[in-house]
Structure 1
Amino acid sequence: MGRAATLARRTFLIGSAAIAGGVAFGVWAYKREGENPLLADLPDGASALTPYVLIDAEGVTLITPRAEVGQGATSIQAYLLAEELDVDPLSVRTAPGPASAAYWNGEVAAEGFPFAAWDDGFVARTSRAAGGVAGKLVGLNVTGGSTTVPDAYDKLRAAGASARETLKQAAADRLGLSRADLRTENGAVIPPEGDPIPYTALAADAAALDPVEAETRDPADWRWLGKPHRRIDIVAKATGTERYGIDLDLPDMLHATAVTNPAHGKGVTAMDASEAEAMRGVLAVHLITGGAAVVADNTWRAIRAANAIRFEWEPPATTHDTDAFWALHAAALTEDTRDSRFADDGDVEAATGDAFQADYGAPFLHHAPLEPANATIRYTPERTDIWTATQVPPFAVDAVARVLEQDADRVRLHNQTSGGSFGHRLELLWIQQAAEIARHHPGRPVKMTWSREEDMASGFLRPMAVARGRGTTGEGRVRSLDLAIAAQSVTESQMSRLGFPPIGPDTAIVAAAWDAPYALADRRVTGHRVPATVPVSSWRSVGASHNGFFVETLMDELIHQAGADPVAERLRLIHHAPSRAVLETVAEMAAWDGPRPGPGRGRGVAFTFAFGVPCAQIVDVVDGPDGLRITDLWVAAEVGRVLDPVNLEAQLSGGALFGLGHAMQAEIPFEDGLPVPRNFDLYESLRMWQVPRVHVRALGTTGAIRGAGEPGLPPAAPALGNAIFAATGQRIRRMPFAREIRFA
């Protein structure tokens, strides 16, 4: 092994601690050992806690700190640990661990740098490494950006390998053998002769040892990873026995709900709660920031009472309706609002002097997860406990500590499984409200649950975005491209709510646009920051969710003008080999070069590069008397090494279908500055009968480790829009498409 590889490997230091006859193992990076966060709250009788592996009298618990929001994070983290530790991931316990900086995410910090994921140059690599260091230094324990697998891949395997080899060393010392004489299997050390020794019987001995630095296994020796395997939560979810935050039931629990001004940041000018206070089961009505909360003996009664409160609200900061918001964004496409220009090749002004030009738009969208936001808090001056589903555990702890004016060290978070998120659980508003309510009822757990209507009204939206595209063609080719994108800054909005000032340009505004791997001599992508009006938030695939539509619709229009083939011309322009392979693969899957579809049928293709993953999709549509129907969807992507092929297919197909449904029918319109939809009936997405046949292929030809929760979404909308054009001749430049076309 070379010196550089040795140093890189040894930046992971293994920490251990003995407690109550147990042993602790964990991975610590950047040449210093951190404190084991699990030691602070050991229950009586526990024999060992570690950052990632707990061994007690009951067996082994795998610590899986990245939040489970339906994407399979808990399962893949468990398999990464179990593969090296030699325990059956289906038979051991898992726990999310505390809200500790020990579980920092270095990958998510690196996402914000303005370097394309295909850029492997020295400056790009150095900057990404710096992002990883920053992630640890600030304790960035967050889940997002499809970073769970890239961040966990080395950390968790190293933690499992160290635990395995240290347990083997404990057994070797006990038996007077060499560690090399021993092997492990199914949670036990196996000697050459005699009975297996369970890990639980070795924990105390292992605690007295210096942790063994161990190599991780060759993928050729993997038992589970890389092969189809069962998610550890699939039986519970398939049988309806999975427990979510909303299912939590604690002794002596109170139930609450909140109603706040739908104009974010505004308050109450007058309130009449007399009818609510007189209703059956109501225990109290409290003023909270921006509104009021009702506490009752069950959630239904709390919500009914909250609906009976009469409010006079402070007016919103803006009275814009949807059309005014579109105009505001279009007006922001000027030099005065320029936020970034990461791509600026050649002389675009000269090249696009007499160019094709079109404007494109994407509406506000809601996350709309199935489980309404909820949090349960038990407050005492000595200690506060939080039960909620969150993707930002340390920030949730700090937010509650601020509300309760309590030291954060006295606040404990018990992260729950979430019934969906799509970015919703990156926010903290309902947790802060729960803390405000719990302060009135010390010693009793208070479960605060938003009604669906409150979730829709108070949730933070994906920003609206508009784009102006220009380009030229000649000799059957696309020659130049100029794209200007205007949107509010998600980073600025979210960071301000977390107490951080925005720093520099927002890469999210132009994500998957400036870094699209198209080689054009004259190419420019400009981001424009729209003045903040409506608070906005990260939505599945963030800026790529609309920029994929902008880039690939513009590209398709230019290719059509040039008279070129949509696949062949993209292949000519793409300079990134894995991206070319993805596009070639999806074309082969869909038999793109075969016979053309008949009358009323059309196929559209789109390619995007988001979160380091090239993904190409082809959509087939048929236009019939009942409207337009999607018949088939082909998806190809390159995520590098495939760890869970079954869940990977689910994530790619799920992301694509999520993108199709929202492109077809979803939007959050505004009237008088306020969002209109208050329930699912007015926020329609893909219906079961509209789901096409889905065909997915992951190439797995590179050594990269990438996530798949978000990259499947961005190509879906443009592929559908391009298919609609191919079938009907109608070019739709603003989502949702249902504004202009009827779907069957």
Structure 2
Amino acid sequence: MSRIGKIARRTFLIGSVAVVGGVAFGYYTYKKPIKNPLLDDLAEGDAALTPYVRIDQSGVTIITPRADLGQGAYSIQAALVAEELDVDPSAVNVDPGPPSAAYYNSKIAGEGLPFSALDESTLASSARDFGEGVAKVLGIQITGGSSTVPDAYEKLRIAGAVARETLKAAAAKETGVAVSELQTRDGHVILPDGTEIAYADLAATAASIEPIEKVQLRDAASWERLGKSHERLDIVAKSTGTLPFGIDLEMDGMLYASVRTNPRMGGEVLGFDATEAEGMRGVLKVVPIKGGAGVIADNTWRAIQAVNAIEFDWGEAPYPAEQDALWEATRAAINSDQQDSRFKDEGNVEPVLAEGGVLEAEYRIPYLAHAPLEPMNAVVQLKDGRLDIWTGTQISRFLVAKAAKTAGIEAENVHLHNQYMGGSFGRRLEDEYVQQAVELAVAHQGAPIKMTWSREEDMTHDFPRPMQVSRARGKVQDGKVHAYDLAIAASSTSESQIGRLGFPAAGPDIAIVQGAWDQPFAIPNYRVTGYRAPAMVPVSSWRSVGASGNGFLHGGFLDELFQEAGADPLAEMLRLCNHDASRKVIETVGEMANWGSDLGANRGRGLAFCVSFGVPTAEVVEITQTESGIKIDKVFVALDVGKVLDPVNFDNQVKGGVIWGLGHAMLSELTYSDGRTEQENYDWYEAMRLYQAPEIFVQAVDNGSQIRGVGEPAVPPAAPALANAIFDATGQRIRELPLSKHIDFV
């Protein structure tokens, strides 16, 4: 029996993917197989049958390359492979794997295209295929945009099926039994007489044969794991406090560090005096870094205390220093020469509005922090030309490339160990905290250094969600919405964020109008225009990105038009809706909330709808007006993500999105004075309290649409549904977030 140590073929092509992207890069370039990264350090007798499955004598390891930020990404990725591989996810090892082009995200580029996610035309489909080609050729490994499940749905099932069939072929080679007579179950190949051969015992033989790439995926009707509720892989460890996050790591010989940089984002450090810090107990070294300084000490507390003792001379902010000036610069962009996009322009908006009878309103939303519970941190070790990084990140390959440049070494000598993250909401799409840690490692080589930001450093150095101002005009006629013109101004997320990754942001920024221009309503005269405000405070993606604010801007004014028309909001929304799956979602939430029933005195309900990330989502919020303020009683949510792969996690993700959306709509904002944030900790940046949380009811609607992600779509409708409910109960129309600036909550 041949026992060849490694599979001869060092690449693996995942399934039959679209090739339209090959038009730009050449068919060969697009179809060229990507090297399997697991083969680089494979031991004798082990097998890496695909980039997602490694088998050795300890058993099966499933590679889950999309980062886990608390959304259950590792669990669902493992389940997708396990369904076809016939293993119990809880009985195998799960590993995020090395950064590699093999783990490119095929869906992420689609969010940046000027096509509605509901557009299934040939042109739109071809553009998405092109984006998929770009992602593959560039090897874009990224977690974000609710793309983990859509990207993984076929890829990982195919990977599991390829591994399964290859193991069956290995068993056939060892036993002489025909493959057609073999079955698989619980990590074993089953012979006709019932004999079981563990996958681990077949690893060496499987490594000696070509992967069986022609596979057939199992029909959903035969699924044993997908589509059914299952326990997340991390739930026991998280519930018992034993799951190690990046901030929990400890190593022999570890040193500790913290940093301070100019709180005026992008401002220079003109100088600093570290005399006091250098004399403090436990301090080993003060290190100048880009924009500030860091302290290396013998524990984190002493490092933070020492770095706070440094006297800095900070340069001025490279943007308007006061909040009022930031608002004015954003507002001034509307109707200026800063037009960025006009993807929606139907009917004859200007002539119709010129006839008079126009309803006008200005809406605005503030900067918002990501504020994850786990502040930014990283463990780094530069030793003998090798750089190891232990941190949580959503941009593995980008981070490695920049870390190599910072350390002055080749990228192949940088080894990233991705960690569980205590939240992110888009924050870890940035990597400046890691680059700071690498600067410290360069200055003090040999020992592992654990760099941790203080909470104040974390809040003052966030890259927030952009502030936005919208000017809305509309007209009703014969009791119906007849015209809707929405102009939205914001700084560009793509210009800011992609620029920090080292790429130019060409073309219009979809995020400025995301969740507004692409809504499925057949308003006769309908226009949405995006205006690019100047680049001011550096901004970034925040949970549900542009739709997070545009849901409020678009949905709030749409409700104003409903009220102006004297129409029932649900009935008028259904009349205008020109997308069958969205209409079913709206109907479903109306049924869930018993829309139209009498709620009683001092109560109100509000309806809002938003498509984001291809997911039609409708929400109804019910409130009570008390003597002390507004109490949110219930929220009803209906949404269509296609097949629900894990009902329990689906329910939790939707409810978490509702709480996130409501809490920020009620209470949260970042404001700037003297060029720096005024909110430096949670006592100034409030969130919804437990006693304020409503009862939430969730209903999945499967119209047979594509598989979509669920981490973000419940966020955008929450704010407008709440604001519309407040109007229904009180008659007060609030057009600015947070709502607590105008009304109290209990």
SS at match of 1:340: strand
Higher mean C-alpha deviation, range 670-679 or range 160-169:
670-679
Structure 1 equivalent of residue 334 of structure 2: 333
Q: Is the 8 A contact 1:22 1:47 kept in 2?
A: no
Higher mean C-alpha deviation, range 44-53 or range 612-621:
44-53
Q: Is the 8 A contact 1:18 1:48 kept in 2?
A: no
Q: Is the 8 A contact 1:483 1:526 kept in 2?
A: yes
Q: Distance in 1 between matches of 2:9 and 2:688?
A: 50
Higher mean C-alpha deviation, range 189-198 or range 315-324:
315-324
AA aligned opposite 2:716: P
**Residue 400 (structure 2) aligned to one of 397, 400, 418:** 397
Shift of 1:20: 5.7
SS at match of 2:91: coil
Establish whether residue 372 from structure 1 lines up as the match of residue 375 from structure 2. yes
Structure 1 equivalent of residue 239 of structure 2: 238
Q: Is the 8 A contact 1:39 1:50 kept in 2?
A: no
Q: Distance in 2 between matches of 1:623 and 1:705?
A: 39
Establish whether residue 136 from structure 1 lines up as the match of residue 132 from structure 2. no
Q: Distance in 2 between matches of 1:324 and 1:740?
A: 22
Shift of 1:31: 3.1
Q: Is the 8 A contact 2:333 2:532 kept in 1?
A: yes
Shift of 1:454: 0.3
Q: Is the 8 A contact 1:665 1:684 kept in 2?
A: yes
Q: Is the 8 A contact 1:22 1:48 kept in 2?
A: no
Q: Distance in 2 between matches of 1:327 and 1:46?
A: 63
* 1:313-712 mapped onto 2 (5 Å cutoff): 313-353=314-354, 354=356, 355-594=358-597, 596-712=598-714
Q: Deviations for 1:115-157, whole angstroms, at most 9, x for unmatched residues?
A: 0111111100100111111110000100000000000000000
Q: Distance in 2 between matches of 1:430 and 1:188?
A: 44
Structure 2 equivalent of residue 299 of structure 1: 300
Structure 1 equivalent of residue 84 of structure 2: 84
Instruction: List gaps (5 residues or longer) in structure 1.
Output: 1-16
SS at match of 1:264: coil
AA aligned opposite 1:504: G
Q: Is the 8 A contact 1:27 1:158 kept in 2?
A: no
Q: Is the 8 A contact 1:64 1:96 kept in 2?
A: yes
Q: Distance in 1 between matches of 2:10 and 2:713?
A: 36
AA aligned opposite 2:137: L
Q: Is the 8 A contact 1:474 1:562 kept in 2?
A: yes
Shift of 1:272: 1.5
Shift of 1:49: 6.8
Q: Distance in 2 between matches of 1:210 and 1:622?
A: 65
How high is the TM-score relative to the length of structure 2?
0.96
SS at match of 1:336: coil
AA aligned opposite 2:559: D
Shift of 1:672: 1.8
Could you say if the C-alpha distance between residues 227 and 194 of structure 1 is closer, same or farther in structure 2, counting changes exceeding 3 Å? closer
**Residue 730 (structure 2) aligned to one of 705, 717, 728:** 728
Q: Is the 8 A contact 2:272 2:310 kept in 1?
A: yes
Q: Distance in 1 between matches of 2:121 and 2:94?
A: 39
Shift of 1:270: 2.5
Shift of 1:21: 8.6
Structure 2 equivalent of residue 269 of structure 1: 270
Q: Is the 8 A contact 1:24 1:207 kept in 2?
A: no
Instruction: List gaps (5 residues or longer) in structure 2.
Output: 18-29
Q: Is the 8 A contact 1:24 1:50 kept in 2?
A: no
Q: Is the 8 A contact 1:24 1:53 kept in 2?
A: no
AA aligned opposite 2:283: V
Could you say if the C-alpha distance between residues 295 and 45 of structure 1 is closer, same or farther in structure 2, counting changes exceeding 3 Å? farther
Shift of 1:40: 2.5
Q: Deviations for 1:431-451, whole angstroms, at most 9, x for unmatched residues?
A: 000010000121211111111
Could you say if the C-alpha distance between residues 319 and 134 of structure 1 is closer, same or farther in structure 2, counting changes exceeding 3 Å? closer
Q: Is the 8 A contact 1:377 1:387 kept in 2?
A: yes
SS at match of 2:545: coil
Paired residue total:
727
Q: Is the 8 A contact 1:381 1:406 kept in 2?
A: no
Higher mean C-alpha deviation, range 376-385 or range 399-408:
376-385
Could you say if the C-alpha distance between residues 222 and 26 of structure 1 is closer, same or farther in structure 2, counting changes exceeding 3 Å? farther
Q: Is the 8 A contact 2:426 2:541 kept in 1?
A: yes
What RMSD, in angstroms, separates the aligned Cα atoms of the two structures? 1.5
Higher mean C-alpha deviation, range 234-243 or range 150-159:
234-243
Higher mean C-alpha deviation, range 43-52 or range 349-358:
43-52
Shift of 1:274: 1.4
Shift of 1:704: 1.1
Could you say if the C-alpha distance between residues 625 and 464 of structure 1 is closer, same or farther in structure 2, counting changes exceeding 3 Å? same
Q: Distance in 2 between matches of 1:708 and 1:521?
A: 31
Q: Deviations for 1:658-684, whole angstroms, at most 9, x for unmatched residues?
A: 000000000001112211111111000
Q: Is the 8 A contact 1:607 1:715 kept in 2?
A: yes
Q: Deviations for 1:479-504, whole angstroms, at most 9, x for unmatched residues?
A: 01000000000000001101101110
Higher mean C-alpha deviation, range 37-46 or range 719-728:
37-46
Structure 1 equivalent of residue 742 of structure 2: 740
Structure 1 equivalent of residue 254 of structure 2: 253
Shift of 1:380: 2.6
AA aligned opposite 2:282: G
Q: Is the 8 A contact 2:642 2:708 kept in 1?
A: yes
AA aligned opposite 1:349: E
Shift of 1:298: 0.9
Structure 2 equivalent of residue 7 of structure 1: none
Q: Deviations for 1:400-453, whole angstroms, at most 9, x for unmatched residues?
A: 011011111111111111100000000011000001000012121111111111
Structure 1 equivalent of residue 69 of structure 2: 69
* 1:173-322 mapped onto 2 (5 Å cutoff): 173-212=173-212, 213-322=214-323
